[in-house]
Amino acid sequence: MKQAITVAVVYHSGYGHTEKQAQAVAKGAAAVEGSEVLLVKVDQVEQYWDRLQQCDALIFGAPTYMGSASAQFKGFMDATSKVVFNAFQNGGAGWGDKVAAGFTNSASRSGDKLATLQQLAIFAAQHGMHWVNLGLAPGHNASTTSEDTLNRHGFFLGAGAQSDADTGPDLGPSQADLLTAEHLGKRVAGVARQLAAGRKILA
């Protein structure tokens, strides 16, 4: 049975690298039967609050700047306090029944990306959302693996990507990182679909 769901990928990208990762996440989510995908830049979120409220899943993405999510993405996080969190506290609809996940990209191999993923997971938890992890084993940690292996950075919490600081988004993130992002989008849409179908049965 076809179960229609909507997945939003909400992201910031200063120079286009994280945008490529966001597009890969969206591609993965769109590959799941019955899913509709919305790509939302945080600087345009004002016109999307209502549509985000209708979504089954929200996937958050930000570049790692100075060891945390970019200031622009943090601005979006803070804006949800008034638009979503306060409304929820006052008996309105919040994001509590939605699925969430996250991704980040930075120049260094580590670059403290984990701090950003943790920040995104805590943000989702504050909204009472259901966090979906990456669901891939660490990719490049053995003699039999390579830089082409999915999840080459070895994250569990979400998807990580690396883009060289001195080249444009035409050259990074790598194909392995984009496929990792695609995997996350597909996994989240799959979980959202299962949840929606289960809720329908239980209603």
Q: Does 15 bind ligand FMN (CB under 6 A)?
A: yes
Q: How far is the CB of 50 from ligand FMN (least distance, A)?
A: 26
Task: Evaluate whether 132 touches 159 at the Cβ level (below 8 Å).
Answer: no
* CB-based closest residue to ligand FMN: 111
Q: With contacts defined by CB under 6 A, how many residues of the chain interact with ligand FMN?
A: 20
Extract the tokens encoding 157: 């919490």
Q: Give me the half-sphere count of Cα atoms (radius 13 Å) on the Cβ side of residue 48.
A: 19
Among 51, 54, 67, 148, which residue interacts with ligand FMN (rule: CB under 6 A)?
67
- Interface with ligand FMN by CB under 6 A: which range of 2-10, 107-115, 143-151, 191-199? 107-115
Cα-only R_g, the chain = 16
Between residue 128 and residue 187, which ones bind ligand FMN under the rule CB under 6 A? 163, 165
Task: Evaluate whether 138 touches 95 at the Cβ level (below 8 Å).
Answer: no
Q: How far is the CB of 12 from ligand FMN (least distance, A)?
A: 7
Q: How far is the CB of 165 from ligand FMN (least distance, A)?
A: 5
Among 28, 102, 111, 190, which residue interacts with ligand FMN (rule: CB under 6 A)?
111
Please say which residue, 6 or 116, places its beta carbon nearer to ligand FMN: 116
Among 3, 6, 35, 105, which residue interacts with ligand FMN (rule: CB under 6 A)?
105
